[in-house]
Amino acid sequence: QLQLVESGGGLVQPGGSLRLSCVASGFTLDDYAIGWFRQAHGKEREGVSCISSRGKSSNYLDAVKGRFTLSRDNAKNTVYLQMNNLKPEDTAVYYCVAEKNPFADFCTLVPLSRRYDYWDLGGQGTQVTVSP
C-alpha cells in the first residue's frame, strides 16, 4: 500500500520553529516530486511548497518564502519542511503530496495553485498551531 505519513506538527509560539517530515512507505521517493499543502480552519487548502524528485527545483508560497525550507533525503525516503519564524497565520493542517514525475524542473513549471487532488498521492496531515 502506497502511503505518505506526515509528522512533526505541534504547538509553538510565534517566532518558533518546527520541522515537518513526510515519509513514504510502499514506494521510493526517488522519482517523485513532493509538495506541501496547508488548510487553515474555514479556508481552502493552499499549496505551500514543492521540491522536484532530485531537489533541483523548488518553489514556495510568497507568504512563507525566506522562512520555510524544503529538503529531501531520498535514502531515508523522507522529505522535510523546516519552518522558521512561525506566525499565527501559519496555523493549519499541513499535508504532503507526491507525484511520480522525475522532471528536474517540475516545481518551476507546475504552479503551487495546482489543485491538491491533481497530485498522485496525499497524506493525512499534521496539525501546526502557532499561538502565544
pLDDT tens, residue by residue, 52-104? 998 899 999 999 999 999 999 989 999 999 999 999 999 999 999 999 999 89
pLDDT value for 74:
87
Residue 7, pLDDT above cutoff 90: yes
- Long-range own/partner contacts, residues 45-50 (CB < 8 A, 24 or more apart): 45/95, 45/116, 46/112, 47/111, 47/112, 47/113, 47/114, 47/116, 48/81, 48/94, 48/112, 49/81, 49/112, 50/106, 50/107, 50/110, 50/112
For residues 124 and 8, is the Cβ–Cβ distance under 8 A? Answer: no
pLDDT value for 97:
97
The DSSP bridge pattern shows strands 92-100 and 46-51 to be: unpaired
* Rounded Cα distance, 37 and 122, in Å: 10
pLDDT value for 132:
94
pLDDT value for 80:
96
CA distance to 3, 48, 104, per residue, from 116 (Å): 16, 11, 20
pLDDT tens, residue by residue, 10-54? 999 999 999 999 999 999 999 999 999 999 999 999 999 999 998
pLDDT value for 9:
98
